[in-house]
Amino acid sequence: MGYDVMARTCPSRVVLHRIGARWTVFVVNALEHQPLRFVELRTHIQGITPKVLTETLRTLERDGLVARTDHEEHPPRVEYELTELGRSLLEPLRAVRRWAEAHIPEIQAANAAAAAREPGDS
Amino acid sequence: MGYDVMARTCPSRVVLHRIGARWTVFVVNALEHQPLRFVELRTHIQGITPKVLTETLRTLERDGLVARTDHEEHPPRVEYELTELGRSLLEPLRAVRRWAEAHIPEIQAANAAAAAREPGDS
DNA sequence: GCCTCCGGTTCCCTTGAAGTAACTCGGTAT
DNA sequence: ATACCGAGTTACTTCAAGGGAACCGGAGGC
Task: Write out pLDDT tens, residues A50-99.
Answer: 999 999 999 999 999 999 999 999 899 999 999 999 999 999 999 999 99
DSSP assignment of B42-89 equals HHHSTT--HHHHHHHHHHHHHTTSEEEEE---SS--EEEEE-HHHHHH
- With beta carbons less than 8 A apart as the criterion, state whether B34 and B76 touch: no
B80 lies within 8 A of chain A by CB: no
- A116 has a chain B CB within 8 A of its CB: no
- Residues from chain B that touch A108, judged by Cβ atoms under 8 A, are 11
Predicted local distance difference test score (pLDDT) of residue B69: 97
Domain ranges of chain A: 11-117
Using CA coordinates, name the residue in chain A closest to B10: A101
Question: Which residues 32-51 on A are within 7 A of strand C at the CB atom?
Answer: 37-40, 50-51
B96 half-sphere exposure, CB direction, 13 A CA radius:
27
- Calculate the angstrom distance between C1' of C6 and CA of B105: 35
pLDDT given for residue B1 in this prediction: 62
pLDDT at A121 over 60: no
Which range among A117-121, B55-59, B69-73, B91-95 shows the weakest confidence by mean pLDDT?
A: A117-121
Whether B57 and B63 have beta carbons less than 8 Å apart is answered as no
Judged against a pLDDT cut of 70, whether residue A19 lies above it is answered with yes
Q: Which of residues 67-86 of A touch strand C (CB under 7 A)?
A: 68, 75-78
Residue B122 has pLDDT above 50, yes or no: no
Tell me the Cα Rg of chain B.
18
Q: Tell me the CATH number for domain A11-117.
A: 1.10.10.10
pLDDT digits (tens, 9 = 90+) for A42-57: 999 999 999 999 999 9
pLDDT at B110: 97
B interface mutation test: which of A48, A87, A91, A101 has the most B CBs within 10 A? Answer: A101
Q: In sequence order, what E strands does chain A have?
A: 36-37, 66-70, 78-82
CA/C1' separation B52–D13 (Å): 15
Q: How confident is the model at residue B72 (pLDDT cuts 50, 70, 90)?
A: very high
Q: How far apart are CA B97 and CA B103, in angstroms?
A: 10
A52 touches strand D (CB under 7 A): yes
